[in-house]
Structures are given as structure tokens and as C-alpha cells.
Structure 1
Amino acid sequence: MGKVNVCLKRSYITVATLIGIISALLLAITLFGHGVFHEQEEMLTGIIVMYVIAIVTLLLAIIGVFGACKKKKWALISFAVGMILLSLFMFLCEGRGLAMKPQMAEQLKQQYLHMGPLNNTSEEFIDRLEEAQMEFQCCGLDRGYVDWANDIPSSCMCTTESTNPCVAVKDGTHFERIMVYNESCLPYLIEENISAIDIMLGTMLGITLLWVVSVVLCILILCQLNQKEDTPAVVYSPEAKAGNYTTLTEPAEFT
């Protein structure tokens, strides 16, 4: 069994430990998400997949660190094979997620449009919409200020620092002309959700690349372990057998 480079071994243990920490955090997030979305059946499939990925990667990280510390080939091989399979699965999911982004945007649009008039929606959504109106300088959901009928909130009103176009309308409460944002908030809300999906896919890609790095380091360690360790050849000298020695000083003469 060959000798493993110390820097290579430490690098692999560091990366495998980092994978284990990330897996533990993912498992904790999954447990929290399971408690929040336990009543939504459409979320259960994704939660189960996250459970499997978090637990499997955590176990593989432990096995990999054990294999590197104890020089166990079976543990390192198990780590490499498991991480390769998980990496391929993650690349497949990420590619599918990128391909489905237009479909997700259309589904989000239909979901917002089916919420009905704003006066019949939940207070939570109304609060979120008013925050979006102030943040993105927009008004209403799909048809602009018309969605609010005669009850246009103050978050729709333009200010001196407004950069988006405004339009003058009559306030149904005070019967005064006010300036409100002309654009609706639906495109901004969809873009915000798509940006969140992009961040999630980017995070998944970064984690997957970390897995690939760990696989490369693991394979390098296995290659070094498979190398035969060079042992120096023993050379016998005939002069050593003959016992040819010389005295450095003359023996003292006894009187």
C-alpha cells in the first residue's frame, strides 16, 4: 500500500468535513420545512428527496473521512461511487430546472391571476403587494391602479424620487386628482420569484461542484494507495564479512 501525500489527505478531509456540515444543515432545513409544509401534499415529494440527499451525503462524508484517516480502500470507493451518482442526479435536476423556468413563470402568472379581486384576497398577500408597490414603484397586480377600484393605497402614489412612469387618476375617497404608478406589479413579482429560483439553482450547482472536487481528491488518494511503496534494496559488502578493521592507536606496552 502506497503512501498518501499529506496535503492531499488534509485537503480531502477538509472538503469531506465541509460536505458533512452542509448535509447536516440541509437536514435541519428539511426538518423545518417538513413542519411548515406538512399539510401541502405537492411539497412532500420534494421534502422526501431532500431527506434522502441530506442523509446519504452525511453518511458518505463520515465514511469518506474514516477511509482517509484509516486508509480503508472500501470506504473511499464507497464515497467516490456514491458521490458520483449523487452528482449526476443533481446535474440532471439542475438542467431540468433551467429548462422549466419559462413554464414556472407562466404557472406563477396564472396563480396570481386566479387570486381574484384584491379586496377578496388575504391580508398577508395585500401586505406583500403593498411592499412590492413601494419597492418596485408599481401599482396593482395585473391591470394597474384599476385593480384597487376606488380604494387606491398610499403605496401606489408617486413621490418626488419616483423613476417609473406615473399617471393622474381621481381618488375615489377624496375625489381628488392624485399621481399613481402606471405599471402593474405582476411582472416584478414573477421576476422576484424567478430570481429566487435562480439563486436556489446556483446554490445547488455550487454544492454539486464541491461534491465533484471531493470525488477527484478521493480518486487521487486511491491512486496513491494502489501504488507499491518502494523499499530500498539491501546491499551486502564482502568487506563487511571479512571484518577488515584497523586500529586507530597502538596498544600500550606493558612493562
Structure 2
Amino acid sequence: MGKVNVYLKGSCIFVISLIGILGALLLAATLFTHGHVYNGEDEEMDELLPGLQLTYSISIIALILATIGMYGACKEKKWALIMFVVGMILFTLFWITRDIQALARRSEVAEHLKMHYRQMLSQNNTSEMNDTLRIVQIKLQCCGLDQGYLDWGYNIPESCLCAEEPTKPCVAAPRNSSLFEHKIDDQPIMIYKESCLPYLIAHVMEVFDATMAILLGVILLWVLSVVLCILILCRLCKKEDVPVVVYSAEAKAGNYAALTELAEDT
């Protein structure tokens, strides 16, 4: 069995430790989210349960593989390193496939979000929904969800009013709206022109792209751990060159008798 380079072994242990830490953090975040959602509404729990189950599986599998790989790297056990390499390769291939499918369906995700928000507006026209939309309007500098200020009808909220230095386009509010109820002069009231739906979808897609980028980085970390473990296995399977011991009949005590006698005379 060959000797493993200390830098190779240390690099492998460091990378596997990162994988274990990420798995532990993901498990902790999943447990926290599960506990938080569990105290909420049943409908919200039903929507998030498949995602929570998936993150539970990812974190637990990552922790198990990291434990096996750490043991194999520290103790230089071939069977543990082989189990880690095989498991991590299968895990990586699974997530590469999921990433490709998610990127291929990116446009479908945007359309699904658009339909989802429109259904929320039509089915949940409550004060809570309106308050949430008002907060979004101030933050994203927009008005209405789908059709701009027309979504509010007569009661256009003050959250649609343009800021002093707006970054989004504004338009004069209709004079038959609630904004002119207590107004005396004829100066126009400027409100945001564009609806919030495009900005909401763009924001969600930015989060989607960031998530894909983070997952790609994690996959590269997994691939690096596999490469390092394979290198360690190659070193362990390599036979060291042992010098061959050859017996010679001439190498006997009588050949050195002259040297012994010379030493005694002196």
C-alpha cells in the first residue's frame, strides 16, 4: 500500500468538512423553517411540505456521505473512500439532471408565477392582501399588480404616489380617483405608471438564478471531493518499490577474517 501525500490528505479532509458543514447548516435551516411553518396555516404547510422533505433528504444524505468520507480520508480506509466516491457521484449526477431540467423550464416558471399572482389577486382580495401589495408598491415603485393603477379602481392608495426622486416612470393620476378627494388646487398628482407584476416576477427569477448559481458551486465542491478521494485511492492502491534482497554465497564471515586479524594486531 502506497503512502498518501499529507497535502492531498489535508485538502480532502478540508473539502469533505465543508460538505459536512453545509449539510448541517441546511438541516438546521430546514428544521427551523419546518417548526416556523408548522405553527402557521395548514394550506401553507401543505405547499411547503414537498420542498421541506427534499431539503431534509439532501442535508441528511450529505451528512452521511461526509461522515463516511471523513473516516475514509483520516484512517485511509479504501472501502469508506469507495462508498463516498460512489455515493457522491450518484448524488452529483442527480442534481446535475435536476439543474438542467430547472434551467430548461425557466420560462415556464415565469408564466406559472404570473398565473399564481393573478389568481391571488382575484381570489384573495382581502385587506391583508391589499396591505401586502401596498408594501410591494413602495419598495418596487409600482402601482397595482397586473393592470397598473386600474387594479385599484377608485381607491388608489397613497403607496402609488411617486417619490421625490423616482427611479421608475410616473403618470398623472385620474382626477376621478380618491387621491383628489381633499385636494384644492389643480396640480396633477403623479403615481407610478407600471404594474408590480413584472417586477415581482423579475425579483423571483433573480432569486431563482442565484439559487442555481449557488447549487452549481456546491456541485463543483462535490466534484472536487470526488477527485481528491480518487487520488487518495490511487495512492493507496499503488505498490511501493521494495529493494530486492539477494543472497550471495560469497558473503560469509571467512571473507572478512583478514580485517579481523589486522585489527587484533594493532
- SS of equivalent residue, structure 2 residue 199: helix
**Contact (CA 8 Å) 1:117, 1:147: kept in 2 or not?**
no
Distance, in Å, in 1 between the alignment partners of 2:158 and 2:207 is 28
Partner of residue 114, structure 2: 109
Using the TM superposition, give the Cα deviation of residue 37 of structure 1 relative to its aligned residue in structure 2, in angstroms: 4.0
Are positions 1:144 and 2:148 aligned together? yes
Using the TM superposition, give the Cα deviation of residue 173 of structure 1 relative to its aligned residue in structure 2, in angstroms: 4.6
**Contact (CA 8 Å) 1:142, 1:186: kept in 2 or not?**
yes
Q: How do residues 48-197 of structure 1 correspond to structure 2 at under 5 angstroms?
A: 48-116=53-121, 120-123=125-128, 125-169=129-173, 170=175, 171-175=177-181, 176=183, 177-197=188-208
Partner of residue 259, structure 2: 245
Structure 1 residues 250 and 93: alpha-carbon distance in aligned structure 2, compared to 1, 3 A threshold: same
More helix by share: 2
Distance, in Å, in 2 between the alignment partners of 1:103 and 1:56 is 30
**Contact (CA 8 Å) 1:115, 1:121: kept in 2 or not?**
no
1:28 counterpart letter in structure 2: A
Partner of residue 221, structure 1: 232
Distance, in Å, in 2 between the alignment partners of 1:97 and 1:122 is 35
Percent sequence identity over aligned pairs: 52
1:205 counterpart letter in structure 2: L
Using the TM superposition, give the Cα deviation of residue 200 of structure 1 relative to its aligned residue in structure 2, in angstroms: 1.5
Give the TM-score taking structure 2 as reference length.
Answer: 0.84
> Which residues of structure 2 form unaligned runs of 5+?
none
**Contact (CA 8 Å) 2:137, 2:159: kept in 1 or not?**
yes
Give the TM-score taking structure 1 as reference length.
Answer: 0.88
**Contact (CA 8 Å) 2:158, 2:179: kept in 1 or not?**
no
Partner of residue 34, structure 1: 34
**Contact (CA 8 Å) 1:139, 1:182: kept in 2 or not?**
yes
- More moved, 181-190 vs 105-114: 105-114
Partner of residue 8, structure 2: 8
Structure 1 residues 248 and 28: alpha-carbon distance in aligned structure 2, compared to 1, 3 A threshold: same
What CA deviation, in whole Å up to 9, does each residue of 1:131-175 have, x standing for no partner? 332333211111111222232222211233113221112242533
Using the TM superposition, give the Cα deviation of residue 219 of structure 1 relative to its aligned residue in structure 2, in angstroms: 0.5
Structure 1 residues 106 and 147: alpha-carbon distance in aligned structure 2, compared to 1, 3 A threshold: same
Structure 1 residues 201 and 232: alpha-carbon distance in aligned structure 2, compared to 1, 3 A threshold: same
**Contact (CA 8 Å) 1:167, 1:181: kept in 2 or not?**
yes
**Contact (CA 8 Å) 1:118, 1:126: kept in 2 or not?**
no
- SS of equivalent residue, structure 1 residue 180: strand
Aligned residues: 250
Distance, in Å, in 1 between the alignment partners of 2:131 and 2:236 is 61
Distance, in Å, in 2 between the alignment partners of 1:30 and 1:65 is 24
Distance, in Å, in 2 between the alignment partners of 1:122 and 1:80 is 54
Distance, in Å, in 2 between the alignment partners of 1:161 and 1:214 is 51
RMSD of aligned residue pairs (Cα, Å): 2.4
**Contact (CA 8 Å) 1:34, 1:47: kept in 2 or not?**
yes
- SS of equivalent residue, structure 1 residue 120: coil
Using the TM superposition, give the Cα deviation of residue 90 of structure 1 relative to its aligned residue in structure 2, in angstroms: 0.6
Distance, in Å, in 1 between the alignment partners of 2:130 and 2:22 is 36
Using the TM superposition, give the Cα deviation of residue 248 of structure 1 relative to its aligned residue in structure 2, in angstroms: 7.5
- SS of equivalent residue, structure 1 residue 76: helix
Using the TM superposition, give the Cα deviation of residue 59 of structure 1 relative to its aligned residue in structure 2, in angstroms: 1.1
**Contact (CA 8 Å) 1:151, 1:172: kept in 2 or not?**
yes
